[in-house]
Amino acid sequence: MATLYQNKCPHCGYRLSIRHSYVENALLKTLYGQCQNLECGWTGRGILEWVYQISPSAQPNPDIELPFTALSEKKLVPA
């Protein structure tokens, strides 16, 4: 699946492809990446984690409890 986010190698800055990913839970995914620069050859593991919500879901999952960001809390409080 294509993504709009461009992953970059932390060493050479070249394009980084996600080779594998594993869903740990609804908020956490482990990613395995590989630099596409053959002269670099770096591979690594990273984590994608959802830690805050900015806008509430119209179809909330009752098992998910994410705090709102401070900015979104200010917007939700009437002036």
Whether 9 is covered by a domain: the verdict is: no
Q: What's phi and psi for 60, nearest 5 deg?
A: -65, 145
Q: Which of 56, 15, 62 has its CA nearest to residue 35? A: 15
Number of domains making up the chain: 1
* Helix (H), strand (E) at residue 71: helix 70-76
Whether 32 is covered by a domain: the verdict is: yes
Tell me the pLDDT of the chain (79 aa) as tens digits: 555 678 999 999 999 999 999 999 999 999 999 999 999 999 999 999 999 999 999 999 999 999 998 875 555 555 4
Q: Considering the entire predicted model, what is its pTM?
A: 0.72
Whether 37 is covered by a domain: the verdict is: yes
Pairwise CA distance, residues 36 & 2, whole Å: 16
Q: What is the pLDDT of residue 3?
A: 53
Contact 7, 42 (CB under 8 A): no
What range does the domain containing 64 cover?
16-76
Whether 8 is covered by a domain: the verdict is: no
Q: What is the pLDDT of residue 70?
A: 81
Q: What is the pLDDT of residue 72?
A: 59
